[in-house]
Structure 1
Amino acid sequence: MLMSNSDRAAKLHYMANGFRVLSPGDHVVCAVTGHRILLEDLRYWSVERQEAYATAAGAAEAMKPR
């Protein structure tokens, strides 16, 4: 039986120019909003924090001092 990656969160290692898939899946979860981000739509992430963001605004919000 073939396993599908649909509806499963991927585990990624974020690097400066891309990411490596550690565990297969079709999406990741935005660290700010909690929204699902399909891997093919993933554009924003933090290498330092190893987290993904759905939008540029979400990435900027995450970088604000707390």
Structure 2
Amino acid sequence: MLMSHLPRAAKLHYMANSFRVLSPGDHVICAKSGAAIPLDELRYWSVAAQEPYASAELSTEAHLAQ
């Protein structure tokens, strides 16, 4: 099977201290800024909202808006 090397957004399930890859990819899209976040740089997400954030500030903004 040929593997594609094109950038592709992953689909993840966010848990308390980790995430599980549901659909492979090399990044996710920040729910607040729309920025691509490489999976190896992903540090902030919401388990309740099941969405990733590019920074602690954006994560806090999202949490306060709930």
* TM-score between both structures, scaled by the size of structure 2: 0.92
Query: CA offsets, 1:20-56, max 9 Å, x none?
Result: 0000000000000000000000000000000000000
Q: Structure 1 unaligned segments of length 5 or more: list them.
A: none
Q: Is the 8 Å Cα contact of residues 46 and 52 (structure 1) preserved in structure 2?
A: yes
Structure 1 partner of 2:59:
59
Structure 1 counterpart of 2:27, one-letter code: H
* TM-score between both structures, scaled by the size of structure 1: 0.92
Q: Is the 8 Å Cα contact of residues 5 and 26 (structure 1) preserved in structure 2?
A: no
Runs of 4+ in 1 over 3 A off after TM superposition: none
Calculate the aligned-residue CA RMSD, in Å: 1.3
Give the Cα–Cα distance (whole angstroms) in 1 for the partners of residues 46 and 26 of structure 2: 19
Identity %: 64
- Secondary structure of 2:58's aligned partner: helix
| Residues 1:14 and 2:14 are matched in the alignment | yes
Q: Structure 2 unaligned segments of length 5 or more: list them.
A: none
Equivalent pairs counted in the alignment come to 66
